A and B are shown apart, each in its own frame.
Chain A
Amino acid sequence: MNKFLITLGSLAVIATTQSCKMKNADSVVSGDAAAKVYVAPGKYDEFYNFVSGGFSGNVTVYGLPSGRLLKTIPVFSVFPENGYGYSEETKPMLNTSNGPVAWDDQHHLELSQTDGKQDGRWIFANANNTPRVARIDLTTFRTAEIIQIPNSAGNHSSPFATENTEYVVAGTRFSVPLGDADVPISSFKKNFRSTASFIKVDKATGNMNIAFQIVLPGMNLDLSHAGKGPSHDWFFFSCYNTEQAYTMLEVNASQKDKDFIVAVNWKKAEEYANSGKGHKMPASYAHNTYDETAHTAKSVIEKDVLVLDPKDCPDMVYMIPCPKSPHGADVDPTGEYIVGSGKLAALIPVFSFEKITKAIQDKQFEGNFYGIPVIKYEAALHGEVKKPGLGPLHTEFDGRGNAYTSMFLSSEVVKWRLSDLQVLDRAPTYYSVGHLMIPGGDTKSPTGKYLVAYNKITKDRYLPTGPELCQSAQLYDISGDKMQLLLDFPTAGEPHYGQACPADLIKDKQVKFYDINKNKNEFLTLGEKKANVIRKGNRVDVYMTAIRSHLVPDNIEGVYVGDDVYFHVTNLEQDWDIPHGFAVKNSSSVDLLIMPGETQTVKFTAQKQGIYPFYCTDFCSALHQEMSGYMRVSPKGSNVPLKFGTNVIAPDPTAVAATK
């Protein structure tokens, strides 16, 4: 009996000890979370969430609140899945002044806006490594245009847009000498520059061109956002490394107490550019556009760029001191407050546009940085959010007067009020949140219903998959006073910033297929009767059609080792969701995925003799397995005549020979 009591007693002790363990995620998910993210089969999500792919170079699209992955949009990286960057038609999209660049690091996204509100026309994406900005068409979810940025490196503070998408910006994070000059790295202060490029976006077509570049001192422009309403004419860039370190930046760029928010009056800059205050500088950068009717991209190398020097352009650029290497520079929906997040600071400074304007009028400057006036910190300051958390990075807004800042080090989202800068709520993230996003949270009219945290560290959140893990995002309901964690969902590549908009803005204007009668591709085959194979020297052009469930021609002979064979495949279907794929055995190139009404080309160089089957790679119909054909590659110099067809059944020539 005593033994039994002792056993019971020890059990009780163990039980108590167990209940003292540290708080985990289970305790923060409340009861109705599942219902809030459940999107029934066949029903649609409420929001499209566009998420940057980071080192995948692509953009992914998720549905919210379900967190389901809907699509990967290839932008800066080749995409074997659908032939982007491999097909002859799409190769020029990845051209640069340095030749083809098949990968990039895609950080930020910005939906096009009209009057400060999302208009659902395009989404812009930056490439950080080889500075480029892309425009994606939201009727096709395809990359429509890519422009390279000269005189820049580390295109990080990009592609943020002004209220009517007048301009999309690109800012240098890794200062470099202008014109790719050959100088010692140690001459950083003298020779290195950062540039803020303003890319003009055509209102009707969306076509981009670099209107002007503002040349700034050598430092690291980090992030940016355009002003709104009263601050419409301004753009705000955060910067760090005003120490101008060029080695061991971790230490050497973290010495100063304050770096800057760079305030650029882009309206003034535009006036200066138009009135000839800038100068044309030779440059070399690619401008690639995709023609939706020719289904073909072309790449043009531009020859010069207009640069503006703040020295010649008074009143165009001001610096606002901002504590400790600021990261995010975010503007609230009213356009009055500019939030600078000093990633190493223990507070969040909030600047007032009204005060900035007044400080400029009253010349309340504390000095200058390479001739650019530096406004007194206190004169520009609305106030500081005290003890918000550790490692503030980015801020978005709910349109109800509240701001939400991501805290990398303390791994949480902190909600605070813009008016009195009081912290209202905090919610943990799993783990180490980078960017956060509220649908329309960087525009004039946010939809303050959900918040997504894009986390940098995943650890134990999902079933483990070896050393390399997926990235992780978290969805919160922010409609109430307290933030409520709803969902974890894995993400692809490494998401940085994201954008989201109500599905209704986009979903009803989707292209379902291409009208084949409008197909202007040079190698279009309009109907099976037009199918052809033409030899010119050692180039063989195959004009091929695909329709359920056969390819025309599906037998090709008279191709020799060393020939370059171009398969131009036209998908004759005119119905939604009937793509055909195309691949050839041993092809060093890849798959094509051809949408209905589209023509795409894959180049195949015959290396060795043999019979090469080719087939449709997208399960298109009940007879998909039958959608295949053969190409005969004969030795160089043999006299096999050029022959092709479909459903041509010839007598077996070898059998005839045997009977003779």
Chain B
Amino acid sequence: MKKLTIPGKASIILVILFLATLWILPMWRIDLRAPQYPGGLSMKIWINDVKGDVDIINGLNHYIGMSTIHKKDFPEFIFLPTTMIVFMLLGVVVLLINKKIGYYIWTLLFAFIGIFSFYDFYKWEYNYGHNLNPAAPIKVPGMSYQPPLFGYKKLLNFEVLSQPDVAGWFYIGAGVLLVAITIYELKKSFAK
């Protein structure tokens, strides 16, 4: 089997470093703005926690019957960090066995984790925005409150913007790097 190139090896270390930022910085943020909140409200999603103005958002959401957000209700905050640690350890294994095929499998695994995470995030958002308490004081016929997966949406008096936070961009960077190096490794092996 063919061995990894120098940039290929270096990229493994970089990807692991990029992913390590998930433990020191938030990965996703949902910003809300309404006339009554000139400074805006912000919910920060970490790999293992949800922070920011969660209490205030919970307080507001009871009017429209949305459930309240609590850290303990998210099994993701255990699964996701575990998965990422395993993935990072596998990176070390790929580096040690030093085979291109290992790198390709590692990249595929990353793509799978990424797609599954987004699917899971979407599913949570859907439930959060649609499962409303029927006894809620404010009911707008036909209205649901699913936050945008990515980008901007207007929900009643709130404007909502959903986007990656710093560690999220590192995560995306890790993905871009993996795909780029996979292409590079493939090209190198065909060139020889």
Binding site for B on A (CB under 8 A): 547-549, 573-575, 621-623, 626
Contacts and interface: CB of A to CB of B under 8 A. Distances in A.
B184 interface: no
Contact of A623 (B55, B56, B137): B137
Contact of A575 (B56, B63, B137, B138): B56
B59 interface: yes
Q: Is the interface of B mostly helix, strand, loop or mixed?
A: helix
A547 B59 contact: yes
B138 A574 contact: no
Nearest to B138: A622
16 contacts: A547-B59, A548-B59, A549-B137, A573-B59, A574-B55, A574-B56, A575-B55, A575-B56, A575-B59, A621-B63, A622-B63, A622-B137, A622-B138, A623-B63, A623-B137, A626-B137
Given A574-B55, A575-B56, A623-B63, 13 more contacts: A547-B59, A548-B59, A549-B137, A573-B59, A574-B56, A575-B55, A575-B59, A621-B63, A622-B63, A622-B137, A622-B138, A623-B137, A626-B137
Contacts of B138: 622
A490 to B, nearest CB: 28
A647 B56 CA distance: 23
A623 B55 CA distance: 19
Nearest first, the 7 closest Cβ-Cβ pairs linking A and B are: A575-B56, A623-B137, A574-B55, A548-B59, A622-B63, A623-B63, A622-B138
Nearest to A621: B63
Contacts of A621: 63
Interface of B: 55-56, 59, 63, 137-138
Nearest to B137: A623
Contacts of B63: 621-623
Nearest to A42: B38
Nearest to B55: A574
Contacts of A548: 59
A527 to B, nearest CB: 13
Nearest to A576: B39
A580 to B, nearest CB: 13
Nearest to B41: A575
Nearest to A547: B59
Nearest to B53: A575
Interface hub of B55, B59, B63, B138 (most chain A Cβ within 10 A) = B59
Nearest to A626: B137
Contacts, number: 16
A36 to B, nearest CB: 27
A280 to B, nearest CB: 54
A457 B63 CA distance: 52
A574 B138 CA distance: 22
Contacts of A623: 63, 137
Nearest to A548: B59
Contacts of B55: 574-575
A623 B138 CA distance: 9
B34 to A, nearest CB: 12
A43 to B, nearest CB: 13
A247 to B, nearest CB: 61
Contacts of A549: 137
Interface hub of A547, A548, A575, A626 (most chain B Cβ within 10 A) = A575
A623 B137 CA distance: 8
A574 B59 CA distance: 10
A622 B59 CA distance: 13
A377 B59 CA distance: 71
A623 B62 CA distance: 11
A187 B138 CA distance: 76
A366 to B, nearest CB: 65
Nearest to B56: A575
A626 B63 CA distance: 12
B130 to A, nearest CB: 22
Nearest to B59: A548
A621 B55 CA distance: 16
Contacts of A626: 137
Contacts of B59: 547-548, 573, 575
Contacts of B137: 549, 622-623, 626
A139 B187 CA distance: 65
A623 B136 CA distance: 12
A575 B34 CA distance: 15
A207 B138 CA distance: 50
A537 to B, nearest CB: 38
A624 to B, nearest CB: 12
A621 B56 CA distance: 13
A42 to B, nearest CB: 8
Nearest to B36: A577
Contacts of B56: 574-575
A573 B59 CA distance: 9
Contacts of A575: 55-56, 59
Nearest to A575: B56
B43 to A, nearest CB: 14
Contacts of A573: 59
A27 to B, nearest CB: 42
A621 B59 CA distance: 11
A616 to B, nearest CB: 15
A621 B63 CA distance: 10
A476 B124 CA distance: 61
A573 B137 CA distance: 19
A547 B56 CA distance: 11
A575 B52 CA distance: 12
Nearest to A573: B59
A623 B59 CA distance: 13
Nearest to B60: A548
A622 B63 CA distance: 9
A92 to B, nearest CB: 33
B145 to A, nearest CB: 15
Nearest to A572: B59
A271 B179 CA distance: 80
A357 B151 CA distance: 74
A622 B138 CA distance: 9
A119 to B, nearest CB: 27
